[in-house]
Each structure stands twice: as structure tokens, then as C-alpha cells.
Amino acid sequence: MQHSVSVALVHDELVHLVRQLMTGERADADSPTFAQHSVLSYVDRNPGCRATQIADAFGVHRSTVSRQIKTCVDSGWVSADIGPVRSGHPLTLTSDGTRILDAANRSRQAEVADRVRDWPTGDVDTFARLLHQFRSTAPNPDNHTRGGDSNA
């Protein structure tokens, strides 16, 4: 297999990175978890979306998304508007949700900036380009996004 040692190293690094992202500590109790941040970001990009659309975009069961949405609604970050029960409630960010998402984005971008602070600019640019290339490469070119959201 071409690149077999390097592929194994890439896999190991991705596993460690995902683990860090999933289990990383929040800046404070009022900031969203990684899963909540993902939901907030999706709702921000897709106002009026429903839990089923988020579940489809993330490739997870609706009950998983529903738990995250409930916490986001209970925290005052998301509003679940009136809608047909069978198709789910349209979701939108509240002003608090927008504020929390913006703060979380700034915090997470600052964390990345801190990690690459001593890197040459060219290395950061190359890393960003390679991450995008990796994420954009799909086994099935017709299915490079889930639920029509390339950021999901």
C-alpha cells in the first residue's frame, strides 16, 4: 500500500485530535461543549432547520441531536419555534446563542493561534490548505457533503 506508514501516522494523529476536541474542557460553564458548538454553528448557518436535518448532516441518530438541542434550548441559546410535530420544530439562534457562539469561535480560534504561534506563516498556510484538501476528499465524489452543508 502506498504511504502505509504515513497513513497510519495521519490516522493516529486524527484520532488524538478528535479525542482532544471531544473531551477538551470548556472555557467556562456558560460556553458550549464541542457537540453543542457544532449544533449552534449548524443552526446559525441554517436558520429554521430541524433536528432531523442536523442529524442527517452530522450522520448521527436524531436522539443524539435532540439531547444537544434540548440543552441549547434550556440554556437560552436556541429557540424552537412552533411547527408541525412530525417534521420537528424550526430552530433559530437566540441573541444569547449568537453571543455564545461568537465567543466560542473567538476562543477556539485563539487556541489554534496559540498552538501555531511559533510556526512559520507558510507552514500555517500549508496546514490549512492540506486540512481543507483532506476534508474535501471523499470516497464518493457525489457525496462530499452531508445534508447539503459542506461545513457539517
Residue 113 inside a domain? The answer is yes
- CB distance 73 to 86 below 8 Å: no
pLDDT, tens digit, 9 for 90 and up, residues 95-148: 999 999 999 999 889 988 999 999 999 999 999 999 999 888 866 544 444 555
86-120 b/e (C-beta count within 10 Å ≥ 16 → b): eebbbbbbeeebeebbeebeeebeeeeeeeeeeee
Tell me which residue of 43, 17, 48, 47 sits closest to 32, measured CA to CA. Answer: 43
- CB distance 151 to 41 below 8 Å: yes
- Gap between the Cα atoms of 77 and 81, Å rounded: 13
User: What's the CATH code of the domain at 32?
Assistant: 1.10.10.10
- Report which of residues 29 and 133 the model is more confident about: 133
Residue 127 inside a domain? The answer is yes
Residue 37 inside a domain? The answer is yes
Residue 31 inside a domain? The answer is yes
Query: pTM of this prediction?
Result: 0.78
pLDDT band at 19 (very low <50, low <70, confident <90, very high): confident
46-50 contacts, C-beta under 8 A, 24 or more apart: 46/149, 47/91, 47/92, 47/93, 48/81, 48/90, 48/91, 48/92, 49/90, 49/91, 50/83, 50/87, 50/88, 50/89, 50/90, 50/91
Residue 122 inside a domain? The answer is yes
Q: Could you tell me the residue range of the domain that residue 47 belongs to?
A: 4-143
- Gap between the Cα atoms of 135 and 145, Å rounded: 10
pLDDT, tens digit, 9 for 90 and up, residues 53-101: 999 999 999 889 999 999 999 999 999 988 766 667 899 999 999 999 9
For the chain, the domain total comes to 1
